[in-house]
Structure 1
């Protein structure tokens, strides 16, 4: 079999795989692989798969899938370090388990129920989703990396890999071109580069017909170009930071594979790449905290494949993006994350420039603005996590993975968010169905936006912000202001304008959020209209006094932070109450702990026009202490 053009050395390159650098990086992986070898493999059971269709649970099945992938990744890396027979046998066992698995598709994506009324996979109709692409890519990389060892120890296993990948992935990709994630009757989003990049890896490594290999490569090249063209010129990503890694980063990885096949990006594509490479560091609040609009965690994994950002940032000349990526080079466990896919782990290990990169301090840029998505970020002390960092969200309520959050404000104090977006919940059957907007974590009343006369913001693309303006005085260190009209996000009669202005004064570490509104027609609204209220979702512990709330957040039970954030308002204009929400979703508790608190400020009177202001500033130790 001919060598596949995948960008990493195979097992026969002992100068690489036996090198001290690689062996040292893989010490924890090797220990885990040796400890679990011989133990039963994680099993994906029919009862686990069927749960999605029966009770909506998708995590049990997907957890077993992820555990199987992770073990096979560890086994493969151990065999690359030392391809002795017991380690190769472990890889063969894992590979054959995947080949015997009834489906590579995740239950949450399969159409077996909608088309056939079945809660078990329909093996004659394989569905090409994220899960199927991930299996195909993992098998392709194993075939590339360990091919000679597999041929010697288990003749036939590479034939099986090819048979299953052709049946489940490569032929469905070419024979069925109505996949919605290709942009057929659906906007292109992160599934497109994620799946197509994995299809490309399988095609390059496993397709033996040169004409078919060339045809699939051309299809993927067109698909990745279409994804880049779908991104805004300013580099914004409406799905937010979390899905940047499973969208734009996947496209960057696919672009690398296309490069290995001799296809380089067009100038227009390179412009989009240059813009989007700046997105991750622009969303950085401090430490391991990021702006988390849409379905994203405010405290995401630190072990994403930062080598991809580093390589492309250097290629397009973005020093800040390269520096931000290099900030992860010196973190424990930062070389790669074995929870990620085998391709990402191997490509990180074989990236010579990344291996030589020196750890750097993140740039912590002072200002970032993405007009296409209406996301703007500012900090009071550029280059430092000290002080306030604030994000304002414009856009609309029909974005990918969106929450109902037009005008929402996130505020971090000394690098840690305290006025927050709760973020991504654990996905279940209803998360992307008609009941999505009943989920509290998605609803507008659990974001930092007004409730206008008893009415929450409405979901849908036509409900969005108007006239977003950002002014920073031409300097990262001066005053900053973001102003937008929220009226279009509400179904409220006679509402003409609802201006929200967030103003940051760096010298005093002060943020003011002012809402000003006008209704048409004379007279005040009737009581039947309901009350106007301002919601602020807060992390940590909250002490409430007349006209003031003090928030102190201690993540992970660590040391008490030196400073707290005080929110103040006119106590005569609004009644204040707090509601503590106990958290039981593991994805939320992992970020915020056991509870969140919603501060509700209810207007005492309803007027056709008016203004209400909330001011935020730190209190505690430090030069900016406020009594």
Structure 2
């Protein structure tokens, strides 16, 4: 007998949604009918870490200090004026900060209540649970559907919108119930019924009823929202839904979403949203797969799925050195250091990747961050191998080429950030979190970027709206790419790199690509860019050569530079990147291109936190000839 949910899944597959790496491997084991008999009951569906003993106590030190300092103070209270502020002036930070502050405090209270068993901490946790349940909407205002359709600035509680925020709360309440359930029943009878009703109404019911959520990726556009929300729904359904057909259907639909996301990843496991978003995309999928394996007593395992194994390697392949990473798209070159490194460590152990284990261990803080999500904190505390892991140095691989996103990274020598590192990006201009940056390069000195990608400023209403490319950091003119006869790169998937060729050997790493397809310029036949790291002399060269049907207006080659930039002589600038380390020298033939420097003052807090108070753009003006070339060289200053 085939259930309605299973028939619906097969209809979708017949309409073009083919099974991905999970469903293709697991088959009917992941169908609703089969899951009814495979899923553990709610009380055992999630792992239950022990918070007693020395390693967990030591790991909770910072959480305990923060929780004790805030107990007795007023809870963060998101306000209607802050919610409305997004629709009035585009500010999403003020409201979201209050929401995040409340949820982070609730997590700390749950951890403390679970760790020491006191009624005082249980009361603190219950207060937080009730406050969250009383919140009009769990959806962040930037994602709220009811406001857009009704022209209002406050949410409609009768029309819950399932977004990242709502999924986060549902999973948090599920983990809180998992850790404190019976004690909440004794001290706050009825509270667990309340949180179940809220999660069912706001999250589980909309998830199963509606299949038009954009983040499901049924239109072919799959991004990090899909595993993030599906993973949280999975946790909520496993713990808070009643055993039976509906719970199995919820889990099956969550698995389908995870499968769709993994199917959308290139076979090399790369993420077009950039390294920083790996933690809220691929890592979210890995966390959900952890939960799923536990809930099915190992029936549904994914450690041998090729794309899963490959994406575990993505973070260390993007590492430049220290805290710096390759940051194409909206990612930051200096991302938040406190990530769930234990997830990477655990999956690297599973697939037998010592480089992944070393990379994670090199970033280990030793304590749970006070801002950790509850599920992530509990996962970390349950991993005794991680808690007891010793120090390690990052692998700093010699090179990596990821054809799925056309991103290449290479350094002078394996195992050290000493010297230059080069990153090159091809791709197209309609990627997730896209910047118009086909052909962009990053050059780091001793691990710190000198030729840079600015990254993104603070999110506002403009960031994901029709005015996205009015933001300067998104435009090609502020990336290290050409400006062809006064024309920036076009926006859309058709504006892409062509004829990409990669050579990677012991002496050099080189990427050659034709950028002509990225520019809507009549008469442009070819614009070759060749970026090369020479391991023999330690230098980087970027050569641009062009061919038009005839002569015309001049073009420019532009480079975005960090830190202190000084023009030493015609055809030569010195770049001392942030941190005061060694400088780089960028040089070219001044007879072929006149150079000029323009400083851009920074005032956005996210950009300032990475680059300081300014970035500098170098503009090299090229003659308007039908053909020609320009070679730029970067080397470490002697």
TM-score grouping bracket, smaller chain normalisation: over 0.9
In the aligned structure 2, how far is the partner of 1:552 from the partner of 1:374? 29
- Provide Cα deviations, 1:471-512, integer angstroms capped at 9, x if missing partner: 022x3xx21211000000001111010000011111211001
In the aligned structure 2, how far is the partner of 1:143 from the partner of 1:500? 56
Q: Relative to structure 1, is the Cα distance of residues 301 and 264 closer, same or farther in structure 2, using a 3 angstrom cutoff?
A: farther
Q: Give yes or no for contact 1:136–1:199 (8 Å, CA) kept in 2.
A: yes
In the aligned structure 1, how far is the partner of 2:371 from the partner of 2:64? 14
**Deviation (angstroms), 1:269:** 7.3
- Provide Cα deviations, 1:229-281, integer angstroms capped at 9, x if missing partner: 11111111111101111100000011111112216557797111011111000
Q: Give yes or no for contact 2:83–2:153 (8 Å, CA) kept in 1.
A: yes
Which residue is equivalent to 1:479? Answer: 508
Q: Give yes or no for contact 2:303–2:350 (8 Å, CA) kept in 1.
A: no
* TM-score normalised by length of structure 1: 0.93
Q: Relative to structure 1, is the Cα distance of residues 288 and 267 closer, same or farther in structure 2, using a 3 angstrom cutoff?
A: closer
- Provide Cα deviations, 1:331-355, integer angstroms capped at 9, x if missing partner: xx45332323111011011112212
Aligned match for 1:296, one of 291, 309, 331: 331
**Deviation (angstroms), 1:309:** 1.1
Q: Give yes or no for contact 2:59–2:387 (8 Å, CA) kept in 1.
A: no
Q: Give yes or no for contact 1:534–1:600 (8 Å, CA) kept in 2.
A: yes
**Deviation (angstroms), 1:378:** 0.5
Alignment of structure 1 residues 18-97 onto 2, 5 Å: 18-97=52-131
Alignment of structure 1 residues 65-464 onto 2, 5 Å: 65-262=99-296, 264=299, 270-329=305-364, 333-464=365-496
Which residue is equivalent to 2:620? Answer: 601
Residue aligned with 1:383, SS: coil
Structure 1 vs Structure 2 CA RMSD? 1.5
Q: Give yes or no for contact 1:335–1:349 (8 Å, CA) kept in 2.
A: no
Which residue is equivalent to 1:17? Answer: 51
**Deviation (angstroms), 1:59:** 0.5
Which residue is equivalent to 1:13? Answer: none
Which residue is equivalent to 2:586? Answer: 567
In the aligned structure 2, how far is the partner of 1:442 from the partner of 1:600? 18
Moved over 6 A (4+): 266-269
**Deviation (angstroms), 1:184:** 2.7
Q: Give yes or no for contact 1:338–1:345 (8 Å, CA) kept in 2.
A: no
In the aligned structure 1, how far is the partner of 2:48 from the partner of 2:572? 58
Residue aligned with 1:429, SS: coil
Aligned match for 1:579, one of 569, 583, 598: 598
In the aligned structure 2, how far is the partner of 1:2 from the partner of 1:499? 58
In the aligned structure 2, how far is the partner of 1:265 from the partner of 1:388? 43
**Deviation (angstroms), 1:379:** 0.3
Which residue is equivalent to 2:611? Answer: 592
> Which runs of 5 or more structure 1 residues have no equivalent in the other structure?
10-15, 620-624
**Deviation (angstroms), 1:581:** 0.9
Q: Give yes or no for contact 2:216–2:226 (8 Å, CA) kept in 1.
A: yes
Per mean C-alpha deviation after superposition, the further-off stretch among 259-268 and 79-88 is 259-268
Q: Give yes or no for contact 1:225–1:269 (8 Å, CA) kept in 2.
A: no
Alignment of structure 1 residues 533-548 onto 2, 5 Å: 533-544=556-567, 545-548=569-572
In the aligned structure 1, how far is the partner of 2:330 from the partner of 2:439? 17
* TM-score normalised by length of structure 2: 0.91
- Looking at both structures, which has the greater relative contact order when contacts are Cα pairs under 8 Å and sequence separation is at least 6? 2
Q: Give yes or no for contact 2:289–2:301 (8 Å, CA) kept in 1.
A: no
**Deviation (angstroms), 1:2:** 5.5
Q: Give yes or no for contact 2:62–2:367 (8 Å, CA) kept in 1.
A: no
